[in-house]
A and B are shown apart, each in its own frame.
Chain A
């Protein structure tokens, strides 16, 4: 299947700093990317949907000014957690899909574990 890669796999930062997580589609053009968040022992929660070249659509309760999403190209989306706090510590997962040869499945990255001290 198609490959989606995230970087970094894990990151530790101090409270108040900003952290950027990259999501890349390696062998296909991702017209749409989704960002999920997963707290320990919980399921994945959709944070936002981003379409290449347009503003992201955020789910209810997700602060768009805190979680900045950029999808400037068909192979790259970034999530920036601004002014991170310990409660932002979580597993962040991106997924991507394409309209080309679409067969229904989403392709997920390996996830990025953020720990805010």
Chain B
């Protein structure tokens, strides 16, 4: 699986949009970009995934650059409950097992 690079930590004000970047410059054509988050002492929670088109669901939006070498996860209105470690993972669906990097620790401030 291609490797990803994420900032170690970020802060965001409550109610504002949180934009979490991820670089995946070695991504291959059949690999998807997945985002998960892990709230302290819980299992990871699926957020969103995409191949090349931008995606949106009830939790977040995923913006993938045209060359697919980077992406941004957007939480449109961050709340305190969004404080977590966010993992950007690149994988082809055939492999199924996901390799977790160190992620971005997002702290939403009141």
Q: Which residues of B contact A43 (CB under 8 A)?
A: 87, 100-103
Interface of A is mostly: strand
- From the candidates A32, A104, A108, name the one contacting B49 in the complex (CB within 8 A): A104
Query: Do A106 and B98 form a contact, CB below 8 Å, given A1-B46, A43-B103?
Result: yes
Interface of B is mostly: loop
Is the beta-carbon distance between A104 and B34 smaller than 8 angstroms?
Answer: yes
- From the candidates B32, B41, B46, name the one contacting A107 in the complex (CB within 8 A): B46
Counting chain B CB atoms within 10 Å of each CB, the highest count among A4, A95, A102 belongs to A95
Q: How far is the CA of A113 from the CA of B87 in the complex (A)?
A: 21
Q: How far is the CA of A92 from the CA of B87 in the complex (A)?
A: 18
Residue B96 interfacial (CB < 8 Å): yes
Closest chain A CB from B32 CB (angstroms): 6
Residue A49 interfacial (CB < 8 Å): yes
Residue of B nearest to A111 (CB): B43
In chain A, positions 6-58 with a C-beta closer than 8 Å to chain B are: 6, 32, 34, 36, 43-46, 49
Closest chain A CB from B4 CB (angstroms): 12
Q: How far is the CA of A102 from the CA of B49 in the complex (A)?
A: 13
Residues of chain A at the chain B interface (Cβ within 8 Å): 1, 4, 6, 32, 34, 36, 43-46, 49, 91, 93, 95, 97, 102, 104-111, 113
Residues of chain B at the chain A interface (Cβ within 8 Å): 32, 34, 36, 38, 41-46, 49, 87, 93, 96-103
- Given A110-B42, A113-B41, 18 new contacts (CB under 8 A): A1-B46, A4-B43, A32-B96, A34-B96, A43-B101, A43-B102, A44-B44, A44-B100, A46-B98, A49-B97, A95-B43, A104-B34, A104-B93, A105-B49, A106-B96, A108-B36, A108-B43, A111-B42
Cβ contacts A to B, 21 pairs, < 8 Å = A1-B46, A32-B96, A34-B97, A44-B38, A44-B44, A44-B100, A46-B97, A46-B98, A46-B99, A49-B97, A95-B44, A104-B32, A104-B34, A104-B93, A105-B49, A106-B96, A107-B46, A108-B44, A108-B46, A109-B43, A111-B41
